[in-house]
Amino acid sequence: MTDDTKVKGPASYFPSIEKKYGQPISHWLDVLGTVSDKKHMERVAWLKTEHGMGHGHANALVAHYLASAKK
């Protein structure tokens, strides 16, 4: 894979998130939609406590979710 085709940023975590937690990314983005009243790090903490996610995976999902919501 060349640098031009390599996935970068939060999406680079997506394959390992799907493998580890057994749900597609669309599921996690839908789940994040249920806590729209929380700030970034509150959402990260919520994914960690309520869904047993590691910090890096939770942070990547929240960052992607929030970036997509701004578009």
Residues 32-69 pLDDT 10s: 999 999 999 999 999 999 999 999 999 999 999 999 98
Q: Would you say residue 5 has pLDDT above 80?
A: no
Q: What does the pLDDT read at residue 54?
A: 98
Q: Where are the alpha helices (DSSP H) in 1-71?
A: 14-21, 25-32, 40-51, 55-69
50's torsion region: left (phi>0), alpha (psi -120 to 50) or beta? Answer: alpha
- pLDDT band for 15, please (50, 70, 90 cuts): very high
Only one residue has tokens 């406590």, namely 49
Residue 17 φ/ψ, nearest 5 degrees: -65, -45
Judged on CB neighbours under 10 Å (0-12, 13-18, 19+), 13 is buried
